[in-house]
Structure 1
Amino acid sequence: MKIERIHHVAYRCKDAKTTVEWYEKHLGMKFVLAIAEDQVPSTKAPDPYMHLFMDAGGGNILAFFELPNSPAMGRDSNTPEWVQHIALKVGSVAELEEAKARLQAAGIEVIGVTDHTIFKSIYFFDPNGHRLELAADVGTPEMYAKLDACKREMLEEWSLTKRAPKHAAWMHDKEFQA
């Protein structure tokens, strides 16, 4: 078996209509599908839901469930809010900066532009409390090759020590040597 791509990634939302309108307005995503049931098909649980699907580009779908009979949404209190996020790719740093300006003009708090050496990004939250990232790639083929060459060694070192390996410290030092 070979995975072809992500079919969809699903998250919970507080309100289906608000979520669709927010993603259309602020991220230009197209609303492509809605499914509503009174019973969960996989478990047969009697739990009505609205399942909506947004086009995230390139065949990627970002989906949401509104669950009116479930307790209010919460977060994993043991995981920092910066960890779990949805990162979406944009075509250029100019697009990233334009998106930041539009979001801020709409009253949405934005962190960044953050320089990650191989990409630049901004961070903000949707109306459901999900952290989003917009990212524009800026790395060179040499940078990606250097990262590819050390990924297994870094993973092994992390696995043994649980301390950050320094193989890619050049990314933060901003000193790349091919």
Structure 2
Amino acid sequence: MKPIIGQHHVSMFTKDASTNVAFYTKVMGLRFVKKTVNQDNVSMYHLFYGDKVGSPGTGVTFFELPNAGHARKGTDSISSISLTVPSDEALDFWKARLEGNQAVVSRIIREDGRASLTFGDPDDLTVHLVSVQGAKPYPPSVAWVPVDIPAQYAILGLGPAVLTVRESAKTIDVLERILGYKKTRSAKALGDGTHEVSIFETGMGGLSTEIHVKESALEDKARPGRGSIHHVAVRIGNKEELEGWASRIAAEGFKNTGIIDRHFFTSFYFWDPNGIVFELATDDGPGYEVDDATDVLLEPLSLPPFLEERRSEIESKLHPIIEL
């Protein structure tokens, strides 16, 4: 089987879709590429952000849970996500921009030969901005540059995902033996500077492929809620390759969903022994079919063909997303 390529997307929970859209489009400058529903619970919005065309490796997605309480950060969870920026200079721009929008932002630190800063979004999701300056070449994306963000500072795509677990050997076994990742080094945790993480890469390597594993036996177990991360999705080239990966993972006895047609791509989810949810998602498929002139917020709800006959029922249970 061909190696996993790197990150595909990450999916989180938000309490309020309107606030979420305003922050990730107007503050972070991401493209709002798709307004749809959680296919497993169609009463719930599923919001997709990314580059200009929603390229794999740039996807940041949220499920809306209006009644969600705050998440409890802790072990056995995907504890933070990363977005990459073109340079160390870009971090100065983002620090000022985020502070100007009332976000809680850390100082810029340099660990493992790279500069980064950490902030909390409106749901208190932990996000790192990581400079790619001096790193391996970053996979090309199709820039989406709002008028008030200079092109040289615009977000490129996804960087490392950080997993915090009580027994790291179990998750490391999944990464190395099952998924084919290779440990490249140890370093201080992003945004931390004290705890050490083990860093794993796949495919061509680099920031867009990294998964960081932090062992913590002292923290309480994480509790899902607003600002928590549901899963990290990694990239598989096509459905045929995905079928091979799915067979291999299922044969190992991991809890899994089987292969699911998500219309935009094809997926396979499984749970590692620490409860971390991984999704394998294909690069092929129709994708998000984003038109240059489309304002997704004003467009009708996007539904895959297999939900289209339920459109009236689904739309009746959703509240409007308003522009803030």
What aligned pairs does 1:48-59 form with structure 2 within 5 A after superposition? 49-58=195-204, 59=206
Q: Aligned residue for 2:22? A: none
Give how far 1:22 is off: 1.8
Equivalent in the alignment of 1:29: 181
**What residue identity is the alignment partner of 2:175?**
Y
Change (3 A) 1:68 1:74: same
Q: 1:150 to 1:5 in 2, by over 3 A?
A: closer
Change (3 A) 1:135 1:150: farther
Q: Distance in 2 between matches of 1:171 and 1:70?
A: 44
Amino acid corresponding to residue 216 of structure 2 in structure 1: L
Higher relative contact order (CA 8 A, sep 6+): 2
d(CA) in 1 for partners of 2:212, 2:276: 13
* Paired position in structure 2 for 1:95: 241
Give the counterpart of 2:222 among 70, 74, 93: 74
Count of aligned pairs between the two proteins: 151
Q: Which residue of 2 aligns with 1:85?
A: 231
Residue equivalent to 1:63: 212
Residue 89 to residue 68, structure 1, CA distance change in 2 (3 Å): same
Matched with 1:169 is: 303
Q: CA deviation at 1:111?
A: 0.6
Q: Does 1:16 align with 2:164?
A: no
More helix by share: 1
| Residue deviations 1:117-174 (CA, integer Å, cap 9, x gap) | 221111111222111100113324xx643x4458633x347xxxxxxx43x2244358
Residue 45 of structure 1: aligned partner = none
Output the CA distance in 2 between the equivalents of 1:104 and 1:144: 28
**Conserved 8 A contact 1:89-1:134:** yes
Paired with 2:266 and 2:195, the residues of 1 have a C-alpha distance of 36
Identify unmatched segments of 5+ residues in structure 2: 1-152, 310-324
Q: Deviation per CA, 1:38-86, whole angstroms, max 9, x where unpaired?
A: xx52xxxxxx744111114453211121123323x2231x46x9x7101
Identity %: 26
**Matches of 1:87 and 1:9 in 2, distance apart?**
10
1:5 to partner: Cα distance: 4.1
Moved over 6 A (4+): none
Q: Are 2:263 and 1:117 aligned?
A: yes
In terms of fraction of residues, the more strand-rich structure is: 2
Indicate how the Cα distance of structure 1 residues 61 and 151 shifts in structure 2: closer, same or farther if over 3 A, else same. farther
Shift of the 149–172 alpha-carbon distance from structure 1 to 2, 3 Å rule, reads farther
Contact 1:50 1:67 in 2 (8 A): no
User: Gaps (5+ residues) in structure 1?
Assistant: 42-47, 158-164
The 1:152–1:128 alpha-carbon spacing in structure 2 relative to 1, beyond 3 Å, is: farther
Confirm or deny that 1:152 pairs with 2:304: no
Do 1:116 and 1:171's aligned partners in 2 also have CA atoms closer than 8 Å? no
Following superposition, the deviation at residue 107 of structure 1 comes to: 0.7
* Contact kept in structure 1, 2:161 and 2:232, CA below 8 Å: no
Q: Structure 2: how far apart are the matches of 1:70 and 1:125?
A: 21
Q: Which amino acid aligns with 2:295?
A: R
Secondary structure at the counterpart of residue 84 of structure 1: strand
2:236 and 2:254 map into 1 onto residues whose CA distance is 18
TM-score (norm 2): 0.41
Match of residue 129 from structure 1: 275
